[in-house]
Structure 1
């Protein structure tokens, strides 16, 4: 299809028909989540929106064009522009077939720009219809709600909405799997937070290409972030770095600043874990040069650049500047709470407490960490604390010792966090024969270690925050790999091989 060259070329009925073809093709691309195709058609349609010539007089398609343009702004991660345009079209248009699409764009943009009061005021529509497939709109709305709930420590609600979105996509014929990408990534994040590494990995396994090609900036952010965390938790630092690199390429190609900032923080954190502070400093400096909005960090913190502030504070902590780290993490957690991103705020509240502890303010640190644990325990957070345990462990142990009687229900919670990490530390990769490392996965080694202690499947599931069915699957794979028939035989062979 040849692209129109000027407004004058659209003065005939043939031109109107050609515009109709472009618009229909753009709607099909939007419904299939074909981002690049949609943006290509929008590049052709854009001049027509501004055209005031014969075509505008003969055919009133402006509302439809601008509705598509608002969708395009969402794909470009330009939520403010999408919100302003969608509201403008809704305020003047009486055409019902675009209103539900625009309503969904407004909800999405309100969530992304942290206007959550407006987001929740816009109740979920009970009936879907209009220019896009009604089930696609339902999946999108459920996915947005799942992400918003997860950010605010309402993990159970987030899980329920995400599962509903995935189920709607699977049950409704004619819906592309791409519509459910964000909900799957949110569901994987919730599963990971609750300790279900295997479930999280299963949800995102094989989805990286789809996320790269069809995912929005948010799907890419949630999917890439959880993929990196799962890889690090399983001891696969090289794979985690490969995922970061792939995400960085996508963020540069599409101008997704928030994704770039989050990936920069993850890379800095990964390098700090490997005790490569010099390279971590260089990575942060490069990220700041690429994003001018992040060159002056502090208060107010830029919406897209705040992960770069978190990366800077991680470096301060690793370098021993605990005063700067404590002040910065406290400021960052307060700002995130104000922006209704409570899940992130809990993480940085805990890191602020760790900084205070290393600075010598043990009592204040324990009080701050206790506050973070209280919020995390009520929401179901687990991996947030386990992932940061290298920083938190000294303060957490002090808290468990000095405030044992005050902790109450948090005693079991803190013990589980410390136990989860100690299991992994007790079985380092370099302590196992490299040939054997290919036989059992790291999680299977942990399960075998717990079996050797006489733990039942239910106890192992409780200790690792996974389901008993997942434990059975691990044990079955261990038996297959070891060619053993009983748990005792597997334990005996594991001990003889030096695995446990």
Structure 2
């Protein structure tokens, strides 16, 4: 498990995914469901790193389903900001999932900006159907990683601070920022935040 975390921290998510798949089989065979939950969470984060949002959400759904009956909280909080953002993404697509209230509760336990929870909840209508996001007005939608960078830009974080928080190289942050500017058709951070708020991407 520790080695998988090292792989993720070193930006080697594919190696982490391979190792975690093996660890999951072993933990399931031993009936160690608490460990399975943690492994699935790490799988979800690693999958998100390679841009595979569909399977990241699936892995997170599996972990939520296993964790909800036992009321697990700490295992999610220990993964920090990346898990908070992934939970918010999951919630935005949750519809009428029976796990929705549990996900909202988990998000409310993070010590981060309340707007992350609010924005995620508001993306789901009272009937449980995902509402159309204003961000869909973009010709080319922002990726999950670009959305994370954009949220941090809106909070006034520098590229170095964003790089440290997301555990990526500063050059990677610059590349994501350039892509955000291109997709939003803006020239700087202030314009990007204003445009994103106009589109409903940011609260």
TM-score by length of 2: 0.52
Could you say if the C-alpha distance between residues 231 and 476 of structure 1 is closer, same or farther in structure 2, counting changes exceeding 3 Å?
Answer: same
The alpha-carbon distance between structure 1 residues 475 and 423, as it changes in their structure 2 partners (threshold 3 A), is farther
The structure whose residues are more often helix, as a share, is 1
1:385 and 1:481 map into 2 onto residues whose CA distance is 25
CA contact (8 A) 1:393 1:418 kept: no
- Of 204, 220, 226, the residue aligned with 2:14 is 204
SS in 2 for 1:492: helix
1:66-145, aligned counterparts within 5 Å?
none
Equivalent of 1:239 in 55, 60, 66: 55
Q: How does 1:288-367 map to 2 (within 5 A)?
A: 311=66, 314-317=67-70, 350=74
Counterpart selection for 1:425 from 102, 114, 117: 117
Deviation readout 1:26-78 (Å, 9 max, x if unpaired): xxxxxxxxxxxxxxxxxxxxxxxxxxxxxxxxxxxxxxxxxxxxxxxxxxxxx
Deviation at 1:473, TM superposition (A): 1.6
Q: 1-side partners of 2:61 and 2:197: how far apart?
A: 36
Question: Contact 2:150 / 2:193 at 8 angstroms: preserved in 1?
Answer: yes
Aligned counterparts of 1:479 and 1:392: Cα–Cα separation in 2? 32
Q: Are 2:198 and 1:496 aligned?
A: yes
Q: Which of the numbers 176, 179, 200 marks the counterpart of 1:474? A: 176
Cα 1:315–1:495 shift into 2, 3 Å: closer
The 4+ residue runs of structure 1 with deviation greater than 4 A are 222-227, 231-235, 381-394, 421-424
1:140 — aligned with what?
none
Report whether the alignment pairs 1:221 with 2:27: no
**Displacement of 1:219:** 7.0
Q: Distance in 2 between matches of 1:454 and 1:439?
A: 22
Structure of larger gyration radius: 1
CA deviation profile, 1:214-261 (whole Å, cap 9, x unmatched): xxxx5743699555344468893x43477x6xxxxxxxxxxxxxxxxx
Match of 2:129 in 1: none
Q: Residue 121 of structure 1 aligns with which residue?
A: none
| C-alpha contact 1:229 1:240 (8 A) present in aligned 2 | yes
- Shift in CA distance, 473/392, structure 1 to aligned 2, threshold 3 Å: same
Shift of 1:315: 4.7
SS at 2:179's partner residue? helix
Who is 1:50 aligned against? Answer: none
Q: Which residue of 1 aligns with 2:187?
A: 485
- Cα 1:235–1:486 change in 2 (3 A) is same
Indicate the structure whose relative CO is greater, using CA pairs within 8 Å and at least 6 residues apart.
Answer: 2
CA distance in 1: counterparts of 2:146 and 2:82, whole angstroms = 22
For the 8 Å contact 2:135–2:141, the answer to whether it is kept is no
1:472 Cα deviation after fit: 1.0
How many angstroms does 1:385 deviate by? 7.2
Q: CA deviation at 1:478?
A: 0.8
Among 153, 158, 161, which residue is 1:451 paired with?
A: 153
C-alpha offsets along residues 273-320 of structure 1, whole Å, 9 cap, x if unaligned?
xxxxxxxxxxxxxxxxxxxxxxxxxxxxxxxxxxxxxx4xx35325xx
Give the number of equivalent residue pairs: 160
Counterpart check, 1:440 vs 2:133: no
